[in-house]
A and B are shown apart, each in its own frame.
Chain A
Amino acid sequence: MTGIALHHYLALSAILFTIGVVGVLTRRNAIIVFMCVELMLNSVNLSLVAFSAYLGNPTGQILVFFVMTVAAAEAAVGLAIIIALFRNKQTVNIDEINIMKW
């Protein structure tokens, strides 16, 4: 019926994860870094769903649900931290935020 095998999905997930890593390592805006973390979480979810579908076992989708929950919590707390930082330092550039460095 179809030529899409499991490794197509895995390759897509790997590429998406790598794009996320590039963003986290090279971008200097905290919000962009945040978006790239979301990209990486999405790629992991994608491979979990792919494994779950090809195994015929829905447990992987339960894991995806928990990852989404934690991602939502992380987004809320992280953005609150970014907004608090911006209020104090007037920047979200992570090169200039070094108050915890000594």
Chain B
Amino acid sequence: MNFYDTIFYFFAFVTLVSAAIVVFSKNIIYSAFSLLFTFFGVAGIYVLLNADFIAVAQLLIYVGGILVLLLFGVMLTNKVVSVEMKTGTLQTIPASIIVAMTAGALCGVFYMTDWKIVRSVPQMTTTANSLGEMFMTTYLLPFEVASVVLLVALVGAAMIARRDRAIQNLKPKI
């Protein structure tokens, strides 16, 4: 087992263990913070796969944006002292059936498909240049649509989370 393998298994272990903590922890704060380690582990695996730009974007967007947003959600909706979380015992059997089916389908597809692989190992190059070029040429329209989606979603989020009283104050005072 060489260095590369060791790093892969380390990141995979970190990712999976912290993902399991996210799902099975009784304390929502622990879940939120172990989600941080999941995101870091996935970012590390992106680096292993030579996706440098995506790894940085993962850190910026997920760790810097989504995780902070989730923590705000936790703080705003939970009395941190009284952590009451029930894990829906009723749905356990249907849930385990669905989970088993999902896992079986995924593993079956992954192992039985004859993937068309060009390289046996990822090549050591940077991707930021080619990604930027593709965003500005082939994928220009989706790129612009994505920016509009973000704008609309953020305006909508601000609108939804606003208090009603504040909305009434917005009405024109003539």
* A residues at B contact (CB < 8 Å): 1-12, 14-23, 25-29, 31-32, 34-36, 38-39, 42, 45-46, 49-59, 61-62, 64-66, 68-77, 79-84, 86-87, 92-93, 95
Contacts and interface: CB of A to CB of B under 8 A. Distances in A.
Contacts of A79: 69-70, 72-73, 157, 161
A19 B19 contact: yes
B20 interface: yes
A20 B106 CA distance: 13
Closest 7 CB pairs of A and B: A73-B153, A25-B95, A23-B23, A53-B122, A80-B157, A80-B161, A80-B160
Interface string B86-101: 1110011011001100
* Interface of A, helix, strand, loop or mixed by DSSP: helix
* Interface of B, helix, strand, loop or mixed by DSSP: helix
A29 B70 CA distance: 13
Interface of B: 1-2, 4-5, 8, 12, 15-16, 19-20, 22-23, 28, 31-32, 35, 38-39, 42, 45-46, 48-51, 53-54, 57-58, 61-62, 65-66, 69-70, 72-74, 76-78, 85-88, 91-92, 94-95, 98-99, 102-103, 106-107, 110-111, 115-123, 127, 130-131, 134-135, 139, 142, 146, 149-150, 152-154, 156-161, 163
B154 A76 contact: yes
Contact of A52 (B20, B51, B85): B51
